[in-house]
């Protein structure tokens, strides 16, 4: 499954700038904040694992970055744009262009074929059908699921379904991939495979933010680990053996 799919092709200019910048971000529902005064910077090409106990704010953090949720205070800058200031339509358009998302339970549309699931974000983004189909075909082949193009997701295994979800997340070549417990609903071996796939993508330049409960997965498939407790970042460490990303004070 090593291949040369040019993830994020044509986005060279984005490579020069910080991809995610959260400044003093707080999200409060009721009671204690779900995310509390978080500052976080992610550069293009980073692979960051977000860890922390249940309820520590991991999903909220991802949703804030994706513009699915708005902070109570602070600013969220992604690819140079203020996501926290976008309206719903603007945020949806922004996501289609800049962000791919994958989830624990895949969120595939059961009454669409695998190929049509993967094509959907491209259609919504107005990509020409021929080009979208070529891109989808390439991704399905790359992920080893091209034989299921005309199959409905219900007939696939958990690992295969997650690969469909990954193809769908990548079809518009977004610079940023957000993964919320992508291995939470699959067995260990399949989790390994998904982890390795995400690592391959990262090696090709795909920026990755991965929420996981597995320290093992985080250690092996992310260069950097951000630890949340009660909505606060309590540590932000870079894996040993990667001195080029040695920890630096974060603004």
Ligand X SMILES: Nc1ncnc2c1ncn2[C@@H]1O[C@H](COP(=O)(O)OP(=O)(O)OP(=O)(O)O)[C@@H](O)[C@H]1O
Asked if 159 interacts with ligand X (CB under 6 A), we say: no
* 100-113: burial string, b at 16+ Cβ within 10 Å, e else: bbbbbebebeeeeb
- Calculate helix-pair angle for 158-170, 114-124, nearest 10 degrees: 20
- The answer to whether residue 182 forms part of the interface with ligand X (CB under 6 A) is no
Question: If binding means CB under 6 A, how many residues of this protein chain bind ligand X?
Answer: 10
Neighbouring-strand partners of residue 73: 26
60 lies in the site for Mg ion, by CB under 5 A: no
Nearer to ligand X, 52 or 153 (CB): 52
Q: Shortest approach of Mg ion to residue 134 CB, angstroms? A: 35
**Closer of 31 and 241 to Mg ion (Cβ):** 31
* Listed residue (139, 191, 129) closest to 167, CA to CA: 139
* Closest CB 69 distance from Mg ion, rounded Å: 12
Are the C-beta atoms of residues 168 and 118 closer than 8 Å to each other? yes
Rule CB under 5 A: is residue 214 a binding residue for Mg ion?
Answer: no
Q: Which does 22 bind (CB under 5 to 8 A by kind): ligand X, Mg ion, none?
A: none
List all residues 6 or more positions away from 85 whose beta carbon is below 8 Å from its beta carbon: none
Do 227 and 52 form a contact (C-beta atoms < 8 A)?
yes
Compare residues 119 and 177 and give the one whose CB is closer to Mg ion. Answer: 177
Question: Token pair for residue 190?
Answer: 């399949």
Q: Is 67 in the site for ligand X (CB under 6 A)?
A: no
79: left (phi over 0), alpha (psi -120 to 50) or beta: left
Residues numbered 25 to 54 that lie near ligand X (CB under 6 A) are 29, 34, 52, 54
Residue 158 and residue 181 in contact, taking contact as beta carbons nearer than 8 Å: no
| Spatial separation of the C-alpha atoms in residues 212 and 122, rounded to whole Å | 28
The answer to whether residue 59 forms part of the interface with Mg ion (CB under 5 A) is yes
Stretch that binds ligand X, among 5-13, 57-65, 79-87, 130-138 (CB under 6 A): 57-65
Instruction: Out of 8, 44, 45, 57, name the contact with ligand X by CB under 6 A.
Output: 57
- Residue 225 is a binding residue for ligand X (CB under 6 A): no
Footprint on this chain of Mg ion (rule: CB under 5 A): 58-59
């Amino acid at each position: 499954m090593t291949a040369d799919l040019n993830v994020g092709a044509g986005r060279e200019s984005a490579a020069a700038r910080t991809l995610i910048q959260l400044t003093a971000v707080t999200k409060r529902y009721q009671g204690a904040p779900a995310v509390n005064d978080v500052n976080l910077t992610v550069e293009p090409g980073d692979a960051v694992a977000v860890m922390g106990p249940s309820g520590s704010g991991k999903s909220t953090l991802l949703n804030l970055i994706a513009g699915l949720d708005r902070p109570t205070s602070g600013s969220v800058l992604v690819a140079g744009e203020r996501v926290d200031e976008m309206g719903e339509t603007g945020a949806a358009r922004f996501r289609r262009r800049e962000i791919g998302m994958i989830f624990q339970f895949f969120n595939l549309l059961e009454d669409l074929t695998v190929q049509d699931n993967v094509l959907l974000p491209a259609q919504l983004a107005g990509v020409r059908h021929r080009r979208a189909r070529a891109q989808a075909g390439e991704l399905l082949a790359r992920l080893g699921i091209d034989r299921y193009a005309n199959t409905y997701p219900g007939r696939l295994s958990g690992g295969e379904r997650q690969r469909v979800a990954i193809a769908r997340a990548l079809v518009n070549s977004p610079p940023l991939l957000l993964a919320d417990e992508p291995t939470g609903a699959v067995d260990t071996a399949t989790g390994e495979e998904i982890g390795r796939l995400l690592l391959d993508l990262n090696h090709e330049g795909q920026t990755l933010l991965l929420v996981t409960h597995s320290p093992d997965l985080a250690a092996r498939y992310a260069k950097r680990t951000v630890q949340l407790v009660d909505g606060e970042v309590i540590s932000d460490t870079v894996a040993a053996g990667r001195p080029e990303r040695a920890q630096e004070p974060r603004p």
